[in-house]
Amino acid sequence: MATRKSTTLNLGTGTFVLLGFAALFFLTTQTTSRGINFFANPPHYELTAKFDNIGDLKVGAPVSMSGVEMGRVTKIGFNSKEYKAVVTLRIDARYSQIPTDSDAAIYTQGLLGGKYIGLTAGGAETYLKDKDQIDFTQSAFVLENLIGQVLANFVKSSGTSDKSNKSDAPAAETPKATEKRK
Amino acid sequence: MKLARELWDSLFESLVGLGSVTRFLLRLIAASPRALLRLDLVAQQVYNCGALSLVIIMLSGLFVGMVLGLQGFQLLQRFGSEEALGTAATIGLVKELGPVVTALLFAGRAGTALASELGLMRATDQISAMEMMAVDPIRRVVVPRFLGGVIAMPLLAAIFSVIGIYGAQLVGVQIMGVDSGSFWSQMRAAVGLSDIYEGIVKSCIFGITCSLIAVYEGYYAMPTAEGVGRATTRTVVTSAVVILFLDYLITAAFL
């Protein structure tokens, strides 16, 4: 009788402790970006890209081409000579055929979503290899800058008045570009 | 004048209480290494505090997670970012709701059991009998219960969080139609190990607090039926207030 009771006791305790540690394990590995990936860390290679402004791009942000996720941002550094952000991208080895003249741009997911990097394929015959750099980059779209430009445009166009073609100009055009056109 | 006197008395009493709890904690810590030699006693208490609380923890976790899924979805939908539901639910559960709700349930389920058990031992002179037989009741009875609670609580909180995340996923993805891929990938991108760490630290501290209050109230209960009842009530009330207070402190410390 005593042994049977202690068996249920051990079984209960064991199950509970196992469940508890399984839960901790799940939390640390499956809900975080830095956790261990059990489905064997897939083979990958790294690329870098320099941006003038990365907005609020974060480590772990997805890198995609044509909407297909190809990898993640693994490191964000700063080049103090050129004053540019250096972003390291880890690309899945399955996608090894990215042309060398492809360009990288920072986009926003949804209206208020996080930033991600979108790659657009170029036409070169050679492909990017490990540790290569993507030369063509486009900075993050910063809403405040855009609003500033629109306002500047607006002030300018209302100042010079009755030039009907002004209103047709794209809203995002910079003041400089508008001046050149004149 | 009389009021001031009473105020002073109650202040004095609570100071004495605080000191006596602290000394009791130090005694428990001092006795812990030797109590660990009797691991079977500790294991039994892990079973009592932990395994027997599993059902209530899992059920509550599921429903808390499901409610988070619903409310979070409603709120995030207004901003057109339902995909952030995974992040919101996970951070909420792991950092706040998991440790706090688990600790409150733990105080209600396991803390009261500990307090009334020890109180009844006191009331029926079992503790005095042990002292008479030269068995240290602290080492034989109190410390295993304390350690059992301390070990069980973080595990319970982790189980609560995981079940809660599952509940949020159930409502968000299966019912409300949030994309499953972005639910998980946004969560993984936004939740850091430090968030998990904060949850673990919280649940460990809450475990120590709850177990300490329960065994203290039980051990020093008045040896009457009324005293045991009062000890049980005080366990829940004190635990709840102290947990919420500590929760604020720890959250502020982690910011």
User: What is A140-172 written as a DSSP string?
Assistant: ---HHHHHHHHHHHHHHHHHH---GGGGGS-TT
For B9, the token pair is: 């008395």
- A92: number of Cβ within 10 Å: 15
In chain A, at which residue ranges do the beta strands (DSSP E only) sit?
A: 44-51, 62-65, 68-79, 84-92, 103-108, 115-120, 132-134, 136-138
* Residue in chain B lying closest to A31 (CA): B188
The 3-class SS string of B163-216 reads HHHHHHHHHHHHHCCCCHHHHHHHHHHHCCHHHHHHHHHHHHHHHHHHHHHHHH
Angle at A98 between CA A92 and CA A99, to 5 degrees: 165
Task: Judge: B154–A58 Cβ closer than 8 Å, yes or no.
Answer: no
Mean pLDDT over residues A126-146, rounded?
83
Contact A171, A148 (CB under 8 A): no
Q: What is the pLDDT of residue B235?
A: 93
Only one residue has tokens 């899924």, namely B69
Interface contact flag, B43 A112, Cβ < 8 Å: no
Q: pLDDT per residue over A3-30, tens digit each?
A: 566 778 888 888 888 888 888 888 887 7
How many alpha carbons lie under 13 Å from residue A142 in its C-beta half-sphere? 12
Q: What are phi and psi of A72, to 5 degrees?
A: -140, 160
A178: confidence class by pLDDT, cuts 50, 70, 90: very low
DSSP 8-state assignment for residue B142: I
Burial class (CB in 10 A: 0-12, 13-18, 19+), A40: exposed
Complex confidence, ipTM: 0.77
CB B145 within 8 A of CB B52: no
Interfacial residues of A (vs B; Cβ cutoff 8 Å): 9-10, 12-13, 15-17, 19-21, 23-24, 26-28, 30-35, 58, 60-62, 69, 109-114
Best of B77, B196, B203 to disrupt the A interface by mutation (most A CBs within 10 Å)?
A: B196
State how far the Cα of A69 lies from the Cα of A61, in Å rounded to an integer.
10
Per-residue pLDDT of chain B (255 residues; tens, 9 = 90+): 788 888 998 888 888 988 999 999 999 999 888 888 888 888 888 988 888 899 999 999 999 999 999 999 999 888 877 778 888 999 999 999 999 999 999 999 999 999 999 999 989 989 889 889 988 888 888 999 999 999 999 999 999 999 999 999 999 988 988 877 778 877 887 888 888 999 999 999 999 999 999 999 999 999 898 999 999 999 999 999 999 999 999 999 887
Of A9, A12, A17, the CB nearest to B155: A17
Q: What's the order of all strands across the beta sheet hosting A132-134?
A: A132-134, A44-51, A84-92, A68-79, A62-65, A115-120, A103-108, A136-138
Give the residue with greater pLDDT, A114 vs B73: B73
Sign of the four-CA dihedral A9, A14, A15, A20: positive
Question: What's the pLDDT score for residue B153?
Answer: 93
- Cβ(B118)–Cβ(A59) below 8 Å: no
Residues A84 and B186: their CA atoms lie apart, in Å, by: 26
Cα–Cα distance for residue pair A87/A50, rounded to 1 Å: 6
pLDDT given at position A171: 47
**Tokens linked to A129:** 């290899």
CB contact under 8 A, A113 and B199: no
In this structure, what are the phi and psi dihedrals at residue B245, rounded to the nearest 5 degrees?
A: -65, -50
